[in-house]
Amino acid sequence: MRKILTAILAMAGTWGAAQVATYSSVTDARLQNPEAGNWLMYRGNYNNWGYSPLNQITAANVARLRPVWAFSTGQTEGHEAPAIVNNGVMFITAPMNKLFALNAATGQLLWKYERELPDDVVSCCDVVNRGVAVYGDMVYMGTLDAHMLAFNAKTGKIAWDRTIEDYKKRYTITSAPLLANGKLITGVHGGEYGIRGFLEAMDPKTGKSLWKTYTTVDASYPAGSAAQGGAPTWLTGSYDPATKTVYWGAGNPSPWMDPRRKPTDDLKWSSSVLAFDVNTGKIKSGFQYSPNDAWDYDGVNEQIMFDATVNGKPIKAMATAHRNGYLYLFDRAGGGVTYKGAHEYVTNTAYKGLDASGRPIWDPQHRPDIGKQVNACPSFLGGKNWQPAAYSPQTKLIYIPSNEWCMNIKGAQTKYAAGEAYVGAEFELNPVPNLGYVGKLQAVDPVTGRQVWKQTWQAPLWAGVLTTGGGLVFTGNTANRDFMAFDARTGKQLWSFKTNSGIVGTPISFSVNGKQYVGVFSGYGGAIPLWAGPMAQLTKDTPRGGVFWVFAVD
């Protein structure tokens, strides 16, 4: 019966309620300078700002923000994707690789695709998808069974379907690909299963591979272990057209702890940010946040690029709020990654600090090992996980959706077997003592590390952040189900709306026919219910079900 049903759904992959009458082809020039009314890529622009220049909705009128349409996906798992909007056509993705094309002004369904996934697909942290990329007249989506799909944007018909890796070894794709310099680039997920991370570029017209670069280095791992060494590239990177450099993060080593490792094994390039030549895939430079990591402090979090003045000198800056609780600042001149400093943005007990080069100084009392249990902050879910921070060119602040939590963690013996979990650790989360909250949205100066304002919630914060030209910051919370707007300069909450579920989505803003809208998924799920243990109890009553909400001022 399931095969009959999924066959029907597969047929519906090219099903369309209404054709896309006109579609604006997406070019490299448009991606480099996206129009204010569109949202053409994962974070709105190559700099990963999460910023919309639209300014019709302001502190003066945001109290009049009302829902204008909503769309239910029929799925009850975590909904984390931002929408992509191209001149009135919206693309949203739901868990289990559902893809919908909608009229962005009315919510009318234009076409949809529902993938027939193998029964034995496994992903560590829910069956989420974090969106699509658009280029030419095509739409691109990575899948849980490690395929890359290209769709005709007008009809939903599949143009090509390419296997990227073997899903039975637990390679999956959960995040949006990146279009850069005419290349379709994707990373892979699977760091808890002993995959070998890589970044791959394809011809967007055919899917043909152009280059593939692995993110583990044999000489930096114990002999023979780099081939199952992790360093997955599971979140979307950024792109600097001036230097033709793609910046992309790499995740934890596999397993988290391994008795074969010496303290001097850095396990490069796990827990790192890397600079790739967009044309060749060659690694030009890199920085490792957590050499020989034992806490699952991934390095995948988004790189936010901007111009800054440091010690009186202008630099091409790049900042990232890392899982280990530090906000890093780099100089990316010439396509490099030069460390300029870091500041704690949440509680960290795992390190005594960072040395002058940015290398962590471990605190032995808080470093786990095989059979050795410790308590360490932040937890393996990080001071910030995948949920993207945002930057405002108006305030020059970064708005970080963060969490204050710790963990008891102990190393455990494990042995690699293809397709089996390869973690090597036991853990349980706990709150930071005497704080009284976990979730924290904070505005931080990325150069000085100064916290300008914060808002806190008892439950974890797992939604992305949007900044706008109207001087506003938008995000959502989990247990309270609120979608909220804040004054970007003061942090004062100006508006909220109670949605159907907890929000773990990524808000965007767009315009159609001159009218500004704000949209976000509400649909609780993701890693917290699966991995947060006692901390997940803070969201145990949050209802499930994915709905994309669109708001406008009445």
Looking at every residue in the chain, the average pLDDT score rounds to 95
Residue the block writes with tokens 């895939």: 281
pLDDT for position 21: 80
Nearest to 201 by CA among 217, 177, 232, 169: 177
pLDDT for position 83: 98
Mean pLDDT for the stretch of residues 201-213: 98
pLDDT for position 101: 97
Report, in angstroms and rounded to the nearest whole number, the Rg of the chain calculated over CA atoms: 22
pLDDT at 8 over 60: no
The pLDDT tens digits for 364-386 are 999 999 999 999 999 999 999 99
pLDDT at 11 over 60: no
Q: From the candidates 240, 258, 293, 296, give the one annotated as an active-site residue.
A: 296
Per-residue b or e along 78-115, where b marks 16 or more CB atoms closer than 10 Å to that residue's CB: bbbbbbbbbbbbbbbbbbbbbbbbbbbbebeebbbbbb
Return the amino acid letter for 461: L
The pLDDT tens digits for 417-436 are 999 999 999 999 999 999 99
pLDDT for position 22: 87
pLDDT at 5 over 50: no
- For the chain, what percent of residues have pLDDT higher than 90? 94
The pLDDT tens digits for 263-296 are 999 999 999 999 999 999 999 999 999 999 999 9
296 is catalytic: yes
pLDDT for position 13: 53
- In Å, how far are 480, 482, 526, 532, 537 from 541, measured between CA atoms? 10, 14, 15, 15, 8
Nearest to 173 by CA among 204, 142, 131, 139: 142
The pLDDT tens digits for 53-73 are 999 999 999 999 999 999 999
Looking at per-residue pLDDT, the higher value among 4 and 433 belongs to 433
Residue the block writes with tokens 């600079």: 275
Residue the block writes with tokens 């390190």: 351
